[in-house]
């Protein structure tokens, strides 16, 4: 009986198997090369060539899996897994999506979806929370930015692709998902049972904090965020009886979202200047977005609240308003996601989410893996019990932002200005 690593074992079926395998490899190598040429030649791009040695290796591995793996395999699933592995190794944000995953992404940016309402990424091979969405099951359960999701329903997440992990977290409304959470200062993982629900993508809410001072909260950037922000600013001015004396723009725990929505929101408060620029290999990945004339808020002083859960599109807005001298940032250093993903539709309703650009703030700075330091550093809020969150007027950081708008300073304990260039 053969064992792993044994030498000198002769299988009488080897000759026939090699013959079958050689024929199989020839067919697979041809299929791989044809497929690669088709993909690389899409949209008028010059077709590329995969070295014959690499194509042969891929075909050889697939052939051996088909023939010798302990369970029968599905050819389509093998190729999908190969593609997932290839793309997921590029960076934490690129992913291959099947038709169901692509549809989930479309719904998540246009309407509602069923899940727990949490934005995640891969950091050092660990599924890490960027931020929970406002009033979502994840937020109510006490999920925090920076939490590590170690297991889902008791199954470890070691080396699991991002898309598959997200798929397991989502599910039908009313069902329960159990997450094992790792957190700084905790010696044991925290076990949370969270009931899935319909998560609303509409992300803008507002209120008057006191006469003349408005509060605008953006929890993420979807296709409705730009128009909703415009409507909110007009409503606040109506409630104020004219131009506001100050506006608190709250981007804390905003994990980002649609780039165009971030540009629209920035443009609401700018009369001119660069909003964001990007650089990539393809011509369409290199661009510069400029503000159009017309500041909707008519120069109202703005204090922007940020923290370690402010990422991606939220950082674009924060950087655009600060670099153009339109706002001051208060809070903690932002997350530091400075890359742009483009969704490229494929055959059969599938898609490729691919990192195509790195973006830069108007001052030309890349914040990728660095984040943005606030103008005024506020101490991190005290630890709260799961589900407990400060609201509106009781939130000390919001009160500090209003103080800053009134006086140029804040009374929040240990608040300090960050030196230029920090």
- Residues labelled catalytic: 312, 323, 337
Check the CA dihedral 286-106-319-128 and report its sign.
negative
Report d(CA 115, CA 174) in Å as an integer. 9
Report d(CA 265, CA 297) in Å as an integer. 11
First to last CA, the chain: 66
Provide the strand spans (E) within 219-313: 246-250, 274-279, 287-290, 302-306
Return the number of other C-beta atoms located less than 10 Å from residue 51's C-beta.
Answer: 8
- H helix and E strand count, the chain: 10, 20
User: Cα angle vertex 217, ends 215, 220, to 5°?
Assistant: 165
Residue 297 neighbours by CB under 8 Å, 6+ apart:
233, 237, 243, 244, 247, 268, 269
Which single residue is written with the structure tokens 């503000």?
A: 291
Residue 329 neighbours by CB under 8 Å, 6+ apart:
304, 305, 306, 318, 322, 372, 374, 375, 376
Closest to 21 in 3D by CA, of 59, 78, 73, 69: 59
Contact 404, 391 (CB under 8 A): no
Taking the C-alpha atoms of 355, 285, 145 and 214 in order, what is their torsion angle to the nearest 10 degrees?
A: -160
Q: Which residues on adjacent β-strands are paired with residue 250?
A: 217, 305
Contact 225, 316 (CB under 8 A): no
The DSSP secondary-structure symbol of 43 reads G
């Amino acid at each position: 009986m053969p064992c792993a690593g044994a030498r000198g074992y002769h299988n009488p079926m080897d000759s026939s198997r090699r013959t079958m395998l050689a024929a199989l490899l020839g067919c697979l190598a041809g299929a791989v090369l044809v497929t690669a040429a088709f993909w690389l030649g899409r949209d008028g791009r010059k077709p590329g060539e995969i070295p014959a040695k690499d194509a042969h290796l891929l075909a050889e591995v697939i052939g051996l899996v088909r023939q010798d793996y302990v369970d029968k395999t599905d050819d389509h699933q093998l190729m999908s897994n190969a593609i997932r592995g290839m793309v997921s190794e590029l960076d934490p944000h690129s992913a291959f999506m099947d038709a169901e995953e692509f549809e989930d992404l479309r719904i998540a940016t246009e309407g509602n979806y069923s899940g727990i309402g949490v934005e995640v990424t891969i950091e050092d091979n660990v599924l890490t929370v960027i931020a929970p969405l406002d009033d979502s099951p994840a937020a109510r359960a006490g999920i925090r930015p920076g939490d590590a999701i170690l297991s889902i329903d008791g199954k470890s997440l070691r080396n699991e692709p991002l898309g598959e992990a997200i798929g397991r977290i989502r599910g039908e409304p009313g069902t329960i998902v159990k997450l094992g959470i790792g957190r700084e200062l905790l010696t044991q993982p925290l076990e949370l049972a969270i009931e899935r629900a319909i998560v609303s993508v509409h992300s803008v809410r507002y209120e008057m904090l006191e006469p003349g001072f408005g509060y605008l909260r953006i929890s993420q950037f979807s296709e409705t965020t730009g128009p909703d922000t415009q409507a909110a600013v007009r409503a606040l001015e109506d409630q104020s009886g004219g131009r506001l004396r100050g506006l608190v723009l709250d981007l804390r725990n905003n994990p980002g979202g649609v780039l165009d929505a971030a540009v629209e929101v920035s443009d609401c408060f700018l009369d001119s200047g660069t909003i964001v620029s990007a650089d990539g290999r393809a011509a369409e990945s290199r661009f510069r977005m400029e503000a159009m004339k017309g500041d909707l808020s008519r120069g109202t002083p703005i204090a922007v609240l940020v923290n370690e859960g402010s990422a991606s599109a939220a950082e674009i807005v924060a950087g655009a308003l600060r670099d153009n001298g339109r706002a001051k940032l208060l809070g903690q250093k932002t997350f530091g996601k400075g890359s742009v993903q483009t969704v490229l539709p494929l055959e059969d309703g599938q898609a490729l989410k691919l990192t195509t650009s790195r973006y830069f703030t108007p001052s030309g700075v890349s914040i990728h893996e660095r984040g943005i330091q606030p103008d005024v550093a506020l101490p991190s809020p005290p630890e709260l019990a799961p589900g407990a969150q400060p609201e509106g007027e009781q939130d000390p950081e919001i009160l500090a932002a209003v103080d800053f708008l009134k006086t140029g300073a804040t009374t929040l304990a240990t608040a300090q200005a960050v030196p230029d260039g920090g």
